[in-house]
Structure 1
């Protein structure tokens, strides 16, 4: 008959305490990373993309950000603005969700005032602008006051490195009739960049006039685990999570950024915030 000695019992208790303590420590580290470090540890993602309408020897530098979800203006957003400035973009493109339901438009404008691009800053609005009831012409006037052009199903023309470019702003929720309207207005001889807050819309209606689509909305899933699909993606995300895709009959490149801020819960895990710099150059 085996008997458990006091020494054996103490060893078992010590082992359980060790495993419990290790688990609590690991959980604390993960929680600290998700709540305090990662939501402010943005990454600069560089995307080098060949496009047929960019002549040889030219390179267009464009910064894309989205999903700021600014509640309070603090040092993190200053760091984001400084990082964008260091990339020397010709144009900055914004794809929606700038504020939260507390209607923090003043804090959004503080951030936007810090952004500089010689050829302009262009934006579309997202679902949070509608939910906060700071949308449409109201938001357009606010943005114009700080040098940002809000495109409500409109086209804006400019020239980058001698290349004629059009920014096409598709308003949320990217309805098919608005997409068709913008495509009819697009000049096929120009480089046409389409901004949409959401990535999931009528891609089957795309034609070869649109050369690149930029979107946000998904936050990249915000909380991720290896080899596991995102726990949650908002409506109109579809199959898109983050990164570069090809859509439509012409295989139009569509890029989804992970965004700068957080929504619903102020956490990120294995899904850091993102600033994207595009280097658009000639196709080989």
Structure 2
């Protein structure tokens, strides 16, 4: 168990494999809740190095990027790097609305990154149709190989998950203080927030909740920050039994 005080740039890469027949192989990196201030430079530098090392095909940004104007240069540096990546999708968090949603969106779009709105965005990966949606997007289109929903807050997951293979969210920071954990979630935060979990399987959909990369009140206990890397792979062929 570890007590973490202050604006540490440390985080872990939480890796999850998703087996899905017909989707091909690709990777998705989700990062959220940066809460950048004037102390955000080391975190952004480590994020850039991590993305370069992992080399995901898709990158999803889950909101809450800034906790003040002095974090803007660090966010701009991250966006400038992400603009070199092929598929980057962005949604807003509640802190972005407080800071100024129009300002955040303008920064994102100035770097030619995709701001997810009312419509799902389709891309092609390895010849397969993949859809990426934000919260406001409607149902799943026909003929998709895989559908991803990028959220900030993990609310309404049973309803939202029905049209998707993969849902990623943040917002809860794991509760920041974790005294114990079980298959049901991270406690004591799970007592107050139903989706203070690491992951859940809802039908055919895998829902993953990040513990985030920063905090407005920079105190954590037994709750390491994280980014979530999902490796989607097709079903493996059965191995023949030896004669």
The question of a shared fold, defined as TM-score above 0.5 by the shorter chain, is answered with yes
Select 2:75's aligned residue among 86, 97, 108.
108
TM-score by length of structure 2 reads 0.84
CA–CA separation in structure 1 for the residues paired with 2:154 and 2:25: 25
Report the alpha carbon displacement of residue 101 of structure 1 after superposing the two structures with TM: 4.7
Listed as ranges, the matches of 1:60-209 within 5 Å are 60-72=26-38, 73-102=40-69, 104-115=71-82, 118-132=85-99, 134-135=100-101, 137-170=102-135, 178=136, 181-183=137-139, 186-190=140-144, 191-201=146-156, 203-204=158-159, 206-207=161-162, 209=163
Q: What is the CA deviation profile of residues 46-103 of structure 1, one whole-angstrom value per residue up to 9, with x for unaligned ones?
A: 111112441xxx3101111111111123222201210121001111111111111557
Q: Which runs of 5+ in 1 are unaligned?
A: 1-28, 171-177
Map of 1:233-272 to 2, 5 A cutoff? 238-247=193-202, 250-263=203-216, 265-272=217-224
Q: 1:89, 1:117 within 8 Å by CA — same for their partners in 2?
A: no
CA contact (8 A) 1:44 1:277 kept: yes
Q: Secondary structure at the match of 1:182?
A: coil
In terms of fraction of residues, the more helix-rich structure is 1
Larger Rg: 1
Greater share of residues in strand: 2
Between Structure 1 and Structure 2, how many residues are aligned?
Answer: 231
Q: What RMSD, in angstroms, separates the aligned Cα atoms of the two structures? A: 2.7
How much does 1:246 deviate?
2.1
Residue 217 of structure 1: how far off its partner (Å)? 0.6
The verdict on how the C-alpha distance between 1:68 and 1:161 changes in structure 2, with shifts beyond 3 A counting, is same
Q: Which runs of 4+ in 1 moved over 6 A?
A: none
Normalised by the length of structure 1, the TM-score is 0.72
- In structure 2, runs of 5+ residues without a counterpart are 237-243
